[in-house]
Structure 1
Amino acid sequence: MSKSGQHPPEPAQLLLVEDNPGDVRLTKEAFKQGRIENDLHTVSDGSEALDFLHQRGEYTDVPRPDLVLLDLNLPRKDGEEVLEELKDDSELRSIPVIVLTSSRAEEDVVRSYELHANAYLTKPVDPDEFIETVRAFEKFWFSVVRLPPEDEQS
């Protein structure tokens, strides 16, 4: 097929689960500066995250995320509960989950990996470093890593 007949790559579907508006803004800024075409969806608590992932309620028409960025300290349901439920679900467990949190506590790192997080990133306090971290993460996950294909339904 000639180049002109090819479709442009679909944008990556990202779900950011974050209740801090400043961190949401910085993450959006970092992805906007990045080279990867993406649709960044944002929810602000663990219950909303699970509704989004299960396509329930107001989220019935949302796309399945290619990757989830998950804060641990969330209202209603915390990040560990979201991670545990997502990884226990045979339909959703293949979605990579990156814990992106301000917690540097070793037990949070250990617990996240025990619950099958794919990576654990600590948010830098400095906004420029925060953006740099997200850009490095984006480059790695979308340029280097092969993500699992979504089940093709035809």
Structure 2
Amino acid sequence: MDSRPSNLPEAQILLIEDNPGDVRLIEEAFHDGQINNHLHTVTDGREALDFVHRQDEYVDAPRPDIILLDLNLPRVDGEDVLHEIKHHPELEHVPVIILSGLDDELIESRDLDHDADEDAVLEKPVDPGEFVDVICGFDDFRLSIVRTRDE
């Protein structure tokens, strides 16, 4: 049995992803990994900015514990969203995992304004087990992880 306390609060995860198939993969990965979370999903960059700035329909949105960000978004590009997040005083220390269909060389060649220096980049598609392991590796997020069965 797991020795971690089961009364930890749910992790607030913001998923910024426009592909319904990738959203489903991520939901399944969290379910299979038994991560205690509340997944908030927005499907374009404009919605993401509204969520993080708590405006319009997201005025009561919680502050995310971790953000999963697709770079190729409609309306507002993912790079612009990343810049806004990393320059927001309440969000600058929130881990961001960039989800990308681009290969490593293309990611490195993009100017991400050094906003993602401390965060991770995952190439899509990702193995659900590896995906959960990467997310569990973030120290700020680890405290919000609850597994209900032996590993």
Verify same fold: TM over 0.5. Answer: yes
Amino acid at match of 1:122: E
C-alpha distance in 2 between matches for 1:20 and 1:37? 23
Provide the identity percentage. 47
1:67-123 deviation line (CA, Å, top 9, x unaligned)? 100000000011100011111222221211110111115242353472235111111
Which stretch shifts more, 87-96 or 52-61?
Answer: 87-96
C-alpha distance in 2 between matches for 1:34 and 1:7? 15
1:152 is aligned to: none
1:75 is aligned to: 74
Is residue 122 of structure 2 the alignment partner of residue 121 of structure 1? Answer: yes
TM-score by length of 1: 0.79
C-alpha distance in 1 between matches for 2:49 and 2:108? 21
Provide the aligned C-alpha RMSD in A. Answer: 2.3
> What secondary structure, in the 3-state scheme, does the structure 2 residue paired with 1:83 have?
helix
Q: Which runs of 4+ in 1 moved over 4 A?
A: none
| Unaligned segments of structure 1, at least 5 residues | 1-5, 150-154
Amino acid at match of 2:45: G
CA contact (8 A) 2:33 2:129 kept: no
Number of aligned positions between the proteins: 137
Q: CA deviation at 1:64?
A: 0.6
1:1-154 matched pairs, under 5 angstroms:
8-109=7-108, 111-112=111-112, 114-117=114-117, 118-124=119-125, 129-141=126-138, 145-147=139-141
CA contact (8 A) 1:112 1:120 kept: no
C-alpha distance in 2 between matches for 1:57 and 1:43? 13
Amino acid at match of 2:33: G
> What secondary structure, in the 3-state scheme, does the structure 2 residue paired with 1:146 have?
helix
